[in-house]
Amino acid sequence: MTEDKGEKQTKKVSLSSTVILFIFLIVMSVAFTFLSKDFYSIYNITSMLTNIAFSGIVAGTLTLVMIMGGLDISIGGNIAFTSCLVAYLFNLENALPIAGIIIIGLLLGTAIGAFNGFIITKLNLNPIITTLGTMAITRGMGYVLTKSRSILILNNVIGFIGGVLLGKGEIAKFPFPLVLFIVVYASLAILMAKSKFGRKIYCIGANESAAKLSGINVNKVKFIVYLISGIAASLSGIILTGQTAVGMPQHGRGMELDVITAVLLGGTSLYGGKGNILGTLAGVLILGVLYNGFTMIGFRYVHIRVFQGVILILVVSLYEVREKKTY
Partner 1 sequence: MESHMGKKILEMKNISKQFPGVQALDKVSYDLFEGEVHGLLGENGAGKSTLIKLLAGDYSKDEGVILVNSAEVEFNIPADSQAMGIRVIYQELNTLDTLSVAENIFVGNLPKRRIGTIDWNTLNKRAKVVLDRMLVDTNPKKIVGDLTVHEKQIIEIAKAIYKEANILVMDEPTAALGEKDIKSLFNIIRNLKRQGVGVIYISHRLEEIFQITDRVTVLRDGKKIGTVNTEETDRDTLITMMVGRELKEMYPKREVPIGNVLMDVKHLTINGILEDISFNLKSGEIVGLFGLLGSGRQNLIRALYGIDKFDCGEIRIDGKPVMVDTPSKALQHKMGFMPIDRKLEGLALVLPIYSNITMANIDNLGGGFLINKSLEMEHSAKWVEDVRIKTPKLTTEVNSLSGGNQQKIVLARLLETGSRIFIMNEPTRGIDVGSKVDIYQIMESLCEEGAGVIMISSELPEILSMSDRIIVISKGKVTGEYKRGEANQEKLIHAATV
Interacting residue ranges for partner 1, rule: CB under 8 A: 1-12, 190, 194-197, 199-200, 202-203, 206-207, 209-217, 269, 273-274, 327
CB nearer partner 1, residue 234 or residue 269:
269
Within a 10 A sphere around the Cβ of 24, how many other Cβ atoms? 15
Least distance from C-beta 184 to partner 1, angstroms?
17
Decide: 224 and 71 in contact? Cβ < 8 Å. no
Q: Considering the complex, what minimum distance in angstroms separates the CB of residue 264 from partner 1?
A: 16
Measured from the CB atom, is 33 or 207 closer to partner 1? 207
User: Distance between CA atoms of 85 and 41, rounded to whole angstroms?
Assistant: 36
Closer to partner 1 by Cβ: residue 95 or 210: 210
Nearer to partner 1, 190 or 306 (CB): 190
For partner 1, the closer CB: 9 or 94: 9
Burial class (CB in 10 A: 0-12, 13-18, 19+), 304: middle
Closer CB to partner 1, residue 148 or residue 214? 214
By CB atoms closer than 10 A (0-12, 13-18, 19+), residue 250 is middle
Per the document, the length of the chain is 327
Distance of closest approach, residue 19 Cβ to partner 1, in angstroms: 17
Among candidate residues 177, 167, 150, the one with its CA nearest the CA of residue 56: 177
Q: How far is the CB of 235 from partner 1 (least distance, A)?
A: 22
Spatial separation of the C-alpha atoms in residues 158 and 102, rounded to whole Å: 8
Residue 228 CB, nearest approach to partner 1 (Å) = 15
The minimum distance between CB 211 and partner 1, in angstroms, equals 7
Minimum CB distance to partner 1, residue 124 (Å):
16
Long-range own/partner contacts, residues 107-112 (CB < 8 A, 24 or more apart): 108/81, 108/82, 108/234, 109/78, 109/82, 109/230, 109/231, 109/232, 109/233, 109/234, 109/235, 109/237, 110/227, 110/230, 110/231, 110/234, 111/230, 112/74, 112/78, 112/81, 112/138, 112/230, 112/233, 112/234
Residue type, 289: V
Q: For residues 203 and 263, which CB has a smaller minimum distance to partner 1 in the complex?
A: 203
Query: How many CB atoms sit inside 10 A of residue 69's CB?
Result: 21
Q: Which is nearer to partner 1, 147 or 324 (by Cβ)? A: 324
Grouping H, G, I as helix, E, B as strand and the rest as coil, residue 206 is helix
Q: How far is the CB of 190 from partner 1 (least distance, A)?
A: 8
Q: Are 231 and 58 in contact (CB under 8 A)?
A: no
